[in-house]
Amino acid sequence: MMLKDILNRIDGMREYAVKLLMDIISKGGVNPDYGGEGEYDKAMYILETVKNWGLGEVKTIYVNDSRAKNGVRPNILVFIRGETSEKLWIVSHLDVVPPGNLNAWTITKPFEPRFIGGRVYGRGAEDNGQAIVSSLLAAKAVIDAGAKPRRTIVLAFVSDEEAGSRYGMEYIVSNYPELFNKNDVALVPDYGKSDGRFIEIAEKSILWLKIRFKGLQVHASTPHRGVNPHKVAIEFLHLVNILIANRFGSENPLFDPPYTTCEPTMARNTAGSPNIIPGEHEVVIDCRILPEYPVDELLKSFKNVASTVREVFLKEVEKNVYPEIEIEVINRFDSPPPTSADSPIVKTLIQALKELRGVEPVIGGIGGGTLASSFRKLGIPAVAWATIDNTAHMPNEYSNINNLIEDAKIMAYLMMRS
Ligand SMILES: [Zn+2]
């Protein structure tokens, strides 16, 4: 049987997978937004591998970025013709985040990968090296077995995922719309749980706000002469809590937690001493919003809360009016409508997990952004799924090679059946 042959071939590439992943980690790829030289070396290595293997037709998209090595951010698309021109996209990203505190890397240095106890350690091992290698393996096994995939496969290796995708997926979507079709489906192996059962089909919107409360600095023993911006901030945050619970309080069981959240995460003030009422207080809040609520609606409500609070504390001192409340959006992601649980990619993935692993998949949503949303925005059903131990962005990041191999098999199944 063809599928059986393909799966056996993947098992046979285990040692090679380790080497491939270690080579990929050693090429670095820190995103220039975080001071790195970018994805060039890693992309060239993958390009060479794809060409040596004769995997398919290659399209490279280089986006100019003077900060990056050789001035470009590379994106590689590999097309493997299937029985139909409808595509199955498998998308992984080339860039990585910086290592962070080097002293915390106790197994090996971030870009000197080490294979120990069935795991490959190094920055980018799991995020997103594992997906790069498993998708390459799956495609190679299909080609070597002489099989023809059902859909046309696109292996996409893209830049800049860790910093907004302006040089990666978003660039491709804006500049090459002809590549995408509503009948396509997409797999983004960049999110998952260690048991491999979780299939992500929805994301919350994200809104980060920096809110500046401007009061009037005075001695703490004479608060009546000033305006205390701490108090203004506390009242504001209190009313935001009530607002979120009431006006934006509905629940959606796809998500955990099933409701919209808005959490204060950072605070800063200008008082250098316990007996000073500061002139300014600054708070950052991180909101994760259910997709059924437009982000604009939340923003508008926050502005209304700000004017209510301002009224409460309003005071004129020497012709100046206090307090002032400024709301600045520092990050915003409007989540597209979720992928339907009945879409072909979800159904085939469920089938694959049942058949190859004997597990019962769980469908749900998450509070963060993956590249699946780029496809959902275009109306293309997309899932984020992988089997990972969630060591991304941490010191001693690793990929479990068992997971890598077993994920490659699921991808091969999708290539043949989706
Ligand atoms: Zn990632």
Asked whether the predicted pLDDT for residue 1 surpasses 80, the reply is: no
Model confidence, pTM: 0.87
Task: Return the pLDDT at 338.
Answer: 93
For residue 128, how far is its CA from the centre of ligand 1 (angstroms)?
5
Catalytic status, residue 161? yes
Residue 126 Cα to ligand 1 midpoint, Å, equals 8
pLDDT 10s digits, 394-412? 999 999 999 999 999 999 9
CATH topology assigned to domain 2-203+337-417 = Aminopeptidase (3.40.630)
Q: Mean pLDDT across the stretch 12-17?
A: 98
Write the pLDDT tens digit of every residue in 106-130.
Answer: 999 999 999 999 999 999 999 999 9
pLDDT of residue 269: 86
Measured in Å, residue 330 CA sits from the centre of ligand 1 at 21
**What pLDDT is recorded for position 37?**
98
User: What's the CA-to-centroid distance between 8 and ligand 1, angstroms?
Assistant: 28
Over residues 363-368, the mean pLDDT reads: 85
Dihedral over Cα of 211, 167, 87, 135: its sign: negative
pLDDT tier at 284 (50, 70, 90 boundaries)?
Answer: very high
Q: Of the listed 39, 41, 161, 162, which one is catalytic? A: 161
Q: Which residues are close to ligand 1, an ion, with C-beta < 5 A? A: 127-128, 190
pLDDT, tens only, 76-98: 999 999 999 999 999 999 999 99
Mean pLDDT of the chain: 96
Burial 376-385 (b: 16+ CB within 10 A, else e): bebebbbbbb
Residue range 283-302: mean pLDDT, rounded:
96
CA distance 43 to 58: 12
Summarize the confidence of residues 29-47 as an average pLDDT.
Answer: 98
Each domain of the chain, given as residue ranges in start order, spans 2-203+337-417, 205-333
Q: How far separated are the first and last CA of the chain, in Å rounded?
A: 17
Sheet (strand 119-121) strand order: 114-116, 119-121, 398-400
pLDDT of residue 270: 81
Which of 41, 65, 95, 162 is catalytic? The answer is 95
CA distances, 314 to each of 172, 216, 226 (Å): 50, 11, 11
Instruction: Give the model's pLDDT for residue 194.
Output: 96
CATH 3.90.190.20 is right for the domain spanning 205-333:
no
Residue pair 110/99 in contact by the 8 Å Cβ criterion = yes
What digits encode the pLDDT tens for the residues 151-207? 999 999 999 999 989 999 999 999 999 999 999 999 999 999 999 999 999 999 999
